[in-house]
Amino acid sequence: MKYWSPLLACALLPACQQEKPSSEVKQPDRDRSVQGVVPSVEETATEDTTHLPYPDDTGHGADGQAALTTEWPKPDSFTPEQLEKLTEALRLANRLIKDPLFAGVLRDLQDRGQIDWRAPGTKRRYSRLPQDQWARPTAYIMEQFIQKQLNPITDFRPYRWAPGSDVTGSSTCVADPKINVNLIMNRSLGNIAGTIIHERVHTFCQRHTCNCPEENQCDLAYQAGSLARAINLYRANGSRPVSLRRHKLCAALKARLEARRLAS
């Protein structure tokens, strides 16, 4: 807690914020006009899984049928090089969640009702959260970031997915995150950091509605991971706007990044 700035803490703690009423949280058919996904070509991933087909690869991925059999994923081990890269990505992820922009942009999205907590069918994204937090799921999970921060490196479990799978990682409520060892060395530190943050949201008990990134692009896990990656690019560019035209991310997040002049 001593590492968090007062501004960041205020942006996330309940005394400083009010989330949209529970009637908005639980509506299965809310207008998706602001939730639309900007098409692209790269990566962003959930038992809840994260996947890789977009330039924004902060999530899981959509496994093919072969990758969904009980044989996969299989426990594996990290090579020294993989563990070193994962450790470096975790350091970066910890810096990114403490950047004031992380809390600020998520607060903007929360205040506008642009974090997708809709509940198509019976699979509610917030159903694994404590029931007394269902009316304020974003605020609750962001409080968890302050109180518990990210997983330590010893929590990450090496797994190998089926050949050709684009799943980058997966995790469930209060479980250690799994990392696909097939993909570590081929991904940038910023992308891995985004996946770490995405999976942390799952360990705080947000679920996806399906194993389909396109349908979940505007939920908290995807937006938090994509936001972290955008902040990393922005800071690396001397805190000047960066182009996100090739990146697949929630339209509402893209609009907020442009409004704050993080992106063009």
- Condensed to tens digits (0 to 9), the pLDDT of residues 99-137 reads 999 999 999 999 999 999 987 666 789 999 999 999 999
- Condensed to tens digits (0 to 9), the pLDDT of residues 136-172 reads 999 999 999 999 999 999 999 999 999 888 889 888 8
pLDDT of residue 121: 60
Q: Is the distance from CB of 169 to CB of 49 less than 8 angstroms?
A: yes
pLDDT of residue 112: 97
- pLDDT exceeds 70 at position 47: no
Q: Is the distance from CB of 118 to CB of 125 less than 8 angstroms?
A: yes
Angle, in degrees to the nearest 10, between helices 189-203 and 80-98: 70
Total-model pTM: 0.78
pLDDT of residue 59: 62
Residue 196 to residues 38, 46, 122, 172, 191, Cα–Cα distance (Å) = 23, 12, 27, 13, 9
